[in-house]
Structure 1
Amino acid sequence: MDLFDAALTGTRGTPATGRSGPSAPLAVRMRPAALDEVAGQAHLLVPGSPLRRLVEPDDESARRAAPGSVILWGPPGVGKTTLAYLVATVSGRRFVELSAVTAGVKEVRQVVEDARRRLATGGEETVLFIDEVHRFSKTQQDALLPSVENRWVTLVAATTENPSFSVNSPLLSRSLLLTLKPLTGDDVRALVRRAVADERGLDGAVELTDEAEDQLVRMAGGDARKALTILEAAAGAALADAVPGRTPGDPVAVDLDTVERAVDVAAVRYDRDGDQHYDVVSAFIKSIRGSDVDAALHYLARMVAAGEDPRFIARRLVISAAEDVGMADPSALQTAVAAAQAVQLIGMPEGRIVLAEAVVHLATAPKSNRAYQGIDAALADVRAGKVGVVPPHLRDAHYAGAEGLGHGKGYR
């Protein structure tokens, strides 16, 4: 669940009430209050765009022309929950949030029925935000269809997974799909500087050194929530260590050491079940194929650190040894198979060394995909009907009467 949930709902499925107080996390306090404060999604915020019509309808006709259901697809920390919140608050609608992790069909139907009653009695419209909608089953997603078709609610669903695979076709076809882009380093840097200066944030109580700011941006990895969480931890540490006799009002310096002490290890941005899983595996194999040892070890480390099944990694190495190295170095397949057996035998964390050894062998080996191309060409012939009959001299000649048929005759 989002770090912003506490600011959005008092209890699960209840409307948000006002802005957060000073005790809320920094990431909550710095939630954008208008579309112009949203970072990094300029492609969705151009004048006249569907998102702007949904958030800032000029009149009732514009509101009716706005999409009734939106699916926000993007990596963590790029503003999916923020946009859903703005859809409700800026346009004066009621905001209700459900998490696909905890909510079921019953909870969905309760929210929809409540929204219908409000509409029937002339009450406010409801924005239903469903976080991690990819975790809903087909039945749960189907339960949303009537409310979308009849506009009983404005559905805003967020997902980090590709909706083409994680959202069923009827719901996807009735929704406007908006793809959010990862935040750039400059986007994150601007958010951090705003949080340092803004009265909703740290209100100038601290001052980041250039090295600390660069490190914080790097560690955030394009995730706004992570950046603000790191900033808050570092600022808290710096203020706690401040000299008691310093001049009131002077900002406390947050240096590189303070940032690094605040967060020991940045979380690895890797999702074993989602798109990043496939992206990292793809980069891993392509780095081996391209003989880039350092890159291959980097992506191996990302998979290991994220808790990827080492047997899965080993299987991919066996495939790579046969497909990419092939007959240019047949011993690579022996190494890969031995690595797979060793990982099965000893497990982790020692298995990482075995996997690294296999990766180095495959990445540095000469490459040949002739065997791979050859079997595919042969299969293409077979599927095209180019089979023919087995020549007599190659047929089985070990049964009685075979010699009389000419089987094996002329074979050398």
Structure 2
Amino acid sequence: MESLFDEAEERAAQKAAPLAVRMRPRTLDEVVGQRHLTAPGTPFRKLIDNDAPMSLLLWGPPGTGKTTLAYVVSQVTSRRFTELSAVTAGVKDVRAAVDAARRELGMSGRQTVLFIDEVHRFSKTQQDALLPAVENRWVSFIGATTENPSFSVVSPLMSRSLLLTLQPLDDDDIRMLVERALADERGLAGAVTLDPDALDHLVRLAGGDGRRALTYLEAAALGFETQGTAHIDTATLERAVDKAAVRYDRDGDQHYDVISAFIKSIRGSDADAALHYLARMIEAGEDPRFIARRLIVHASEDVGMADPTALQTAVAAAQAVEFVGLPEARINLAQAVIHLALAPKSNAVVKAIGAAQADVQAGLIGAVPAHLRDAHYAGAKRLGHGDGYVYPHDRPEGIVAQQYAPDVVAARTYYEPTNHGMENRFSERARVIRDILRPARGGGEGATPDGDAPAASDASHAPDEGNGR
């Protein structure tokens, strides 16, 4: 009788658990995403299949399956599962969990998976308290973190653990999770159906976070499960999660129109408009890495040498996206957008490489001047390689009047600095350097009368408008 009561109580507890918990995979084959970790033959899979002792650090954005993998490890290997959160646990809790694991190991030989969520929140002292248990394998330690362990986990613990990096779930992964939850007995068991447009919107809202997708689905389905089969459309989903659908098709015209308007707003120095389009893309679930890549291109294409720090800011924002992820990385992206929008503009860099490429494509590829050729191999001297080369550092001014370009393009001028921002400084320096070098430069075949490269066609200079095509 007591056994029946316990089973009923357990079933009731499972039904009351959040949908994301109820749908937690029971085997590695049920895990959605992270195939680079769970596929047969991978190091992680071998550890599980061979029931080997392990200490793991799982690093990845929220909702990518860190807790799930730890739970599956305990289920597949029949180990006890003990979970602590570094947000609330202290050294006392860690030692109590380790002592319990040692008693279980001594009495039954059964190992314990000690899972510590948000392990990066532990202080150095708290992390050090784990070392004896990890070193002596009293527990199979699994730590989960959303921050780079190289900066947030102490070296002794890092060196004793296998670091596994989890990736955000892609759209197909999220779609599979949702469809499984709709049909599975542990989930909604067919009690509700989801409109295709609502499913697409839910996938966008999830942003690669499986837990978020299931939480939103559960909120939208609330109350329907007891009314027979019910249908969830986009309006119902919006009311449930208090988040209006942003009309944005990542594979259609909206994707290209919005990113084009985003780049053109930055180019036009309208920071407010650019921030609007940034917010629009983020709210619609656009991949933040795509946005960061466009900013990096724009930093050189439309700002260039007018503000060389713009590229540094854009690259730093892209790194922040990888390290931090959304939603926090939206702040880093916004900073880069504002910097690029307010920076002085110059397209001299993109015009320079466009003109140089146009000449090369037109066949203006002359021989490398003999004095610049490699003179380090045997026989090079006999061929005259390196003869007459002057080492610039041997001269006080650091610049030598000698020819560097092949004869056929010796009179070409590709980089034409503007007077915008910091490029004004480079403009003057470029003029001084060319005054020194030009006496050493011949007229050159194909040169224009003033020695400059002819204007390249619009196609060679025109950017791709940031369309991402």
TM-score range normalised by the length of the shorter chain: 0.5 to 0.7
Q: Which residue of 2 aligns with 1:162?
A: 148
* Residue identity opposite 1:169 in structure 2: S
> Residue deviations 1:96-150, cap 9 Å, x none?
1111111111211121122122222234211100000111111111111111111
- Which has the higher mean CA deviation after the structures are superposed, 34-43 or 18-27? 18-27
2:233 matched to 1:255?
Answer: yes
Distance 1:124 1:67 in 2: 12
Helix, strand or coil for the counterpart of 2:243?
coil
> Residue deviations 1:255-282, cap 9 Å, x none?
111111111138xxxxxxxxxxxxxxxx
Q: In the TM superposition, what is the alpha-carbon distance from 1:365 to its structure 2 partner? A: 3.3
2:152 matched to 1:152?
Answer: no
TM-score, normalised with respect to structure 1: 0.60
Residues 287 and 80 of structure 1, relative CA distance in 2, 3 Å threshold: farther
Q: In the TM superposition, what is the alpha-carbon distance from 1:226 to its structure 2 partner? A: 0.8
Q: Which residue of 1 aligns with 2:173?
A: 187
1:31 to 5, 19, 24: 24
Distance 1:102 1:299 in 2: 39
Helix, strand or coil for the counterpart of 2:193?
strand
Q: Which residue of 1 aligns with 2:275?
A: 297
Report percent identity of matched pairs: 62
Q: In the TM superposition, what is the alpha-carbon distance from 1:183 to its structure 2 partner? A: 0.2
Distance 1:356 1:152 in 2: 48
Q: Which residue of 2 aligns with 1:40?
A: 33
Distance 2:195 2:71 in 1: 33
Residues 360 and 172 of structure 1, relative CA distance in 2, 3 Å threshold: closer
Distance 2:337 2:57 in 1: 43
2:45 matched to 1:49?
Answer: no
Q: State whether residues 287 and 363 of structure 1, in contact with CA within 8 Å, keep that contact through their aligned partners in structure 2.
A: no
* Residue identity opposite 2:36 in structure 1: H
Q: Which residue of 1 aligns with 2:102?
A: 116
Q: State whether residues 185 and 217 of structure 1, in contact with CA within 8 Å, keep that contact through their aligned partners in structure 2.
A: yes
Q: In the TM superposition, what is the alpha-carbon distance from 1:84 to its structure 2 partner? A: 0.5
1:203 to 181, 189, 198: 189
Q: Which residue of 2 aligns with 1:310?
A: none
Q: Which residue of 1 aligns with 2:313?
A: none
Q: Which residue of 1 aligns with 2:201?
A: 215
Q: Which residue of 2 aligns with 1:352?
A: none
* Residue identity opposite 2:151 in structure 1: F
Distance 2:337 2:38 in 1: 48
Distance 2:53 2:265 in 1: 45
* Residue identity opposite 2:342 in structure 1: L
5+ residue gaps, structure 1: 1-16, 243-248, 267-285, 306-319, 333-354, 370-384, 389-412
* Residue identity opposite 2:345 in structure 1: A
1:365 to 332, 335, 345: 345
1:134 to 120, 128, 144: 120
Q: State whether residues 72 and 156 of structure 1, in contact with CA within 8 Å, keep that contact through their aligned partners in structure 2.
A: yes
Residues 140 and 366 of structure 1, relative CA distance in 2, 3 Å threshold: same
Q: What does residue range 54-69 of structure 1 map to in structure 2 within 5 Å? A: 54-55=47-48, 57=49, 62-63=50-51, 66-69=52-55
Equivalent pairs, count: 293
Q: State whether residues 96 and 126 of structure 1, in contact with CA within 8 Å, keep that contact through their aligned partners in structure 2.
A: yes
> Residue deviations 1:224-253, cap 9 Å, x none?
11111111111125568x6xxxxxx5x211
Q: State whether residues 290 and 363 of structure 1, in contact with CA within 8 Å, keep that contact through their aligned partners in structure 2.
A: no
Q: State whether residues 95 and 127 of structure 1, in contact with CA within 8 Å, keep that contact through their aligned partners in structure 2.
A: yes
Q: State whether residues 191 and 224 of structure 2, in contact with CA within 8 Å, keep that contact through their aligned partners in structure 1.
A: no
Q: Which residue of 1 aligns with 2:242?
A: 264
Residues 194 and 358 of structure 1, relative CA distance in 2, 3 Å threshold: closer
1:70 to 20, 32, 56: 56
Distance 2:182 2:234 in 1: 16
Distance 1:88 1:288 in 2: 52
Q: State whether residues 306 and 344 of structure 2, in contact with CA within 8 Å, keep that contact through their aligned partners in structure 1.
A: no
Helix, strand or coil for the counterpart of 1:22?
helix
Q: State whether residues 275 and 337 of structure 2, in contact with CA within 8 Å, keep that contact through their aligned partners in structure 1.
A: no
Q: State whether residues 288 and 362 of structure 1, in contact with CA within 8 Å, keep that contact through their aligned partners in structure 2.
A: no
* Residue identity opposite 1:21 in structure 2: Q
Distance 1:69 1:76 in 2: 21
Distance 2:232 2:39 in 1: 36
Helix, strand or coil for the counterpart of 2:83?
strand
Q: What does residue range 347-366 of structure 1 map to in structure 2 within 5 Å? A: 361-362=341-342, 365-366=345-346
> Residue deviations 1:350-402, cap 9 Å, x none?
xxxxx999658526733689xxxxxxxxxxxxxxx99x9xxxxxxxxxxxxxx
Distance 1:360 1:113 in 2: 56
Distance 1:142 1:229 in 2: 35
Residues 237 and 220 of structure 1, relative CA distance in 2, 3 Å threshold: farther
Distance 1:204 1:182 in 2: 27
